[in-house]
Amino acid sequence: MNTDLGNYRKSYEKQELLENNVSDNPMELFQKWFHDVDENFDIGETNAMTLSTLGMDGFPKSRVVLLKKFTYEGFIFYTNYDSEKGKAIINNPNVCLSFFWPAAERQIIIKGKAEKIAENLSDGYFESRPRGSQLGALVSHQSDVIENRDILEKRLQALEKELEGQEIERPEFWGGFIIKPVEIEFWQGRPNRLHDRLRYQLDDDFNWNLDRLSP
């Protein structure tokens, strides 16, 4: 197979990103961009983000997860703590998140440190999930090798019968991580590949310093 993608080109011309139009706090700019994209562009899942970790085998690995909450403190998502990514985060909490919203010609790249959120917060979110998703969290031994899909279907059927009419409690191995950012880069596509890149970095006094990066 020899597929040449050299002619796949697009000129980015929709918007601009200038220092005099941004907040001193990158979380405020993130909120502004997120709501703008969510309300004005057909993205699908605006909260889909790529999470990159350093695996137990020494290789980096990226996968798409869903952002469930963001605050001034950081970005929260939920997973199985015993999964491949859960173990990788616990072993090395330095991670990277990235959002790519092609319809808006925007990217956001976030470096941060991950930590588990409080158990009561994980409990509250788990309770809000659809019952099928609650059961799925119990059924799947995430990242384990399985022989076939029938195994999952049979586990689900058995668990549905066992827990019929009962509330489902959050398992200890499932919960949230918060990524507390130390660096956030905002990328806005511009013509001639001269894209706007503004980078916020957190200093030792917990102040955000802003720099423009060459595209």
What's the mean pLDDT in 151-177? Answer: 94
pTM of the shown model: 0.93
Structure confidence at residue 13 as a pLDDT band (50, 70, 90): confident
The tens digit of pLDDT for each residue in 56-77 reads 999 999 999 999 999 999 999 9
d(CA 192, CA 215): 10
What's the mean pLDDT in 40-61? Answer: 96
Judge whether 177 and 70 are in contact, CB under 8 Å.
no
More confident residue, 10 or 104: 104
What's the mean pLDDT in 123-147? Answer: 92
Give me the long-range contacts of 195-199 (CB less than 8 A, separation at least 24): 195/12, 196/16, 196/17, 196/18, 197/17, 198/17, 198/19, 198/22
* pLDDT number for residue 165: 92
Structure confidence at residue 41 as a pLDDT band (50, 70, 90): very high
* pLDDT number for residue 144: 82
Structure confidence at residue 212 as a pLDDT band (50, 70, 90): very high
One-letter-per-residue 3-state SS of the chain: CCCCCCCCCCCCCCCCCCHHHCCCCHHHHHHHHHHHHHHHCCCCCCCEEEEEEECCCCCEEEEEEECCEECCCCEEEEEECCCHHHHHHHHCCEEEEEEEEHHHCEEEEEEEEEEECCHHHHHHHHHHCCHHHHHHHHHCCCCCCCCCHHHHHHHHHHHHHHCCCCCCCCCCCEEEEEEEEEEEEEEECCHHHCCEEEEEEECCCCCEEEEECCC
- On the question of pLDDT at 145 being above 90, the answer is no
Structure confidence at residue 6 as a pLDDT band (50, 70, 90): confident
What's the mean pLDDT in 12-34? Answer: 95
* pLDDT number for residue 108: 98
* pLDDT number for residue 11: 86
- On the question of pLDDT at 177 being above 90, the answer is yes
What's the mean pLDDT in 183-205? Answer: 96
What's the mean pLDDT in 81-89? Answer: 97
What's the mean pLDDT in 183-206? Answer: 96
The tens digit of pLDDT for each residue in 153-162 reads 999 999 999 9
Q: Which of the residues are catalytic?
A: 193
